[in-house]
Amino acid sequence: MRGKGKLVSWNADKAFGFIAPFDKSKDIFIHKSGFNNKARVPAINDIITYTLCVDKNGRSKAIEATFSGEKLIQKSAAKSNKFSLYLAAFFMVIIVVNWLLGKIPQMILVVYSVLSLFTYIVYAKDKSSAKKGNWRTPEVTLHALAFAGG
C-alpha cells in the first residue's frame, strides 16, 4: 500500500531524511536511493508518495518514492536472456552423456546435480531477500558456490 506525506527533514550530506505521513503516524526514514527520480534533489515540504517496507534491522523505511505530480514507474520484468539457460542445459546433457558412456563416474553426476540445485535455491532465496529489502546472502558465499560448480 502506498503512503503519502511531507518531507520534514533532509540531510543533503548523508542523502537521507524523514517523511511525516499525512495519516499522523510516526515519521518514516527515506534514503536518496529510495526515490525513483534520482536526479531531483529532495527539499523540505516536498509531498512524497512512497511504499512502506522494513529494513534488515526491523525499522520502517520508504522505498519507490515519488514526488508530487510524478507517476510511479513500475520496473518491468527484465527480458530474460535464455542463452544461459540453454548453456546450462547443454552442459548437463554433456555430463549425462559422458556418464552413460562410462567416461565419468556416477558420483560426479550426483554431486554436480545436488550442488547445482543447492546453489539455485541459495540464489533464489537471495533474490527474494533483495526484493523484500531483507538480509542477503554474502556475495563471497554466492561466488564460492558458483565456483564450486553450482
Each residue's pLDDT tens digit in the chain (150 positions)? 788 999 999 998 999 999 999 998 899 999 998 898 888 889 999 999 999 988 888 888 999 888 888 776 665 544 556 887 788 889 889 988 998 999 989 888 888 888 888 988 998 898 888 888 788 888 898 889 888 876
Give SS3 for 111: helix
pLDDT value for 4: 92
From 6, 86, 3, select the one nearest 52 (Cα to Cα).
Answer: 3
C-alpha span between 25 and 101 (Å, rounded): 68
The model's pTM is 0.48
DSSP state of 147: H
pLDDT value for 73: 66
- Which residues lie across from 131 on neighbouring strands? none
| Phi then psi dihedrals of residue 81, to 5 deg | -95, 110
Cell numbers given for 131: 526484493
Cell numbers given for 8: 520534514
